[in-house]
């Protein structure tokens, strides 16, 4: 059985502190074969850098997916210098980096795919449905043990639609981006595990990882106030543990993980 720990969007320094504190213990408890995390909010809540990626690799994360902030810090070289970092596959064809990778684990091949949704998103991304079909078709002859898809999207309907569209074709479809863990984890009759959103790793007593005061002021006044990223206070850790049969590519168990810690 392959065990894969997928960690939600890591938000800012307090999110990284939470990973550093909790992940070593969780790896001892669950013994995952592969640890994946979404890194698009890793640095000050927006984007990622070489230093923050290396910090998280040292903490025990093996691979990173991304989203709409993939290039917020002008870190194109991260995607071309052999770092274990994906950007959404349905970015335009000339965008630096890769949207999927085959990862070798315990003599097994795991395909990790990163997609981004189009509903309520600011850019004109390519169709994630068509791109996923294209990737799966191009790798149909590969001897894959598991296929994991991170769908970084705002709209619940878009994620659920993709679940129906690819049911039975992938081992797991997990959603990221909204920073709030949903309670709809499931394994379909075709063996595809699903969770609309894994949640986040970051400030718990805020608004999706950001200090609450300025966000509330923006709602009250319709004047855009800057986001403030706290480095102290209660933090939440969200992840999902997937147990996948490598012979069938089907998920046998999906377990949401929620932990809290104070700084």
Q: Which residues are catalytic?
A: 69
Element (H, E) at 245: strand 234-245
In whole angstroms, how far apart are CA 17 and each of 1, 85, 247, 263?
Answer: 30, 20, 37, 9
DSSP 91-140: S-TTSSS-SEEEEEETTEEEEEEEEE--TT-SS-PPPHHHHHHHHHHHTT
On the 0-12 / 13-18 / 19+ scale of CB atoms within 10 A, 141 is exposed
Question: DSSP state, 225?
Answer: P
Strand partners, 37: 7, 64
Q: How far is residue 45's CA from residue 94's CA, in Å, rounded to a whole number? A: 26
Q: Which residues contact 36 (CB under 8 A, 6 or more apart)?
A: 4, 5, 6, 7, 61, 62, 63, 64, 65, 112, 148, 150
Rg of the Cα atoms in the chain: 17
């Amino acid at each position: 059985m392959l065990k894969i720990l997928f960690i939600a969007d890591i938000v800012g320094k307090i999110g990284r502190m939470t990973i550093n504190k909790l992940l070593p213990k969780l790896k001892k408890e669950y013994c995952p074969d592969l640890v994946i995390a979404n890194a698009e909010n890793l640095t000050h809540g927006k984007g990622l850098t070489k230093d923050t990626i290396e910090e998280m690799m040292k903490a025990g994360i093996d691979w990173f997916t991304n989203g709409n902030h993939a290039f917020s810090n002008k870190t194109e070289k991260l995607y071309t210098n052999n770092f274990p970092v994906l950007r959404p596959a349905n970015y335009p064809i000339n965008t630096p980096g890769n949207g999927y990778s085959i990862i070798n684990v315990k003599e097994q091949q795991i395909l990790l795919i990163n997609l981004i949704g189009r509903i309520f998103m600011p850019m004109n991304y390519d169709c994630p449905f068509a791109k996923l079909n294209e990737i799966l078709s191009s790798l149909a002859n590969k001897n894959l043990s598991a296929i994991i898809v991170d769908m970084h999207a705002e709209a619940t309907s878009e994620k659920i639609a993709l679940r129906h569209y690819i049911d039975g074709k992938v081992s797991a479809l997990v959603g990221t981006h909204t920073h709030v863990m949903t309670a709809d984890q499931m394994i379909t009759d075709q063996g595809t595990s699903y969770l609309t959103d894994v949640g986040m790793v970051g400030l718990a007593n805020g608004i999706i990882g950001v200090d609450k005061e300025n966000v509330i002021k923006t709602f009250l006044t319709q004047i855009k106030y800057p986001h403030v990223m706290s480095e102290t206070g209660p933090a939440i850790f969200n992840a999902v543990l997937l147990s996948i049969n490598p012979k069938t590519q089907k998920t046998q168990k999906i377990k949401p993980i929620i932990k809290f810690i104070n700084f």
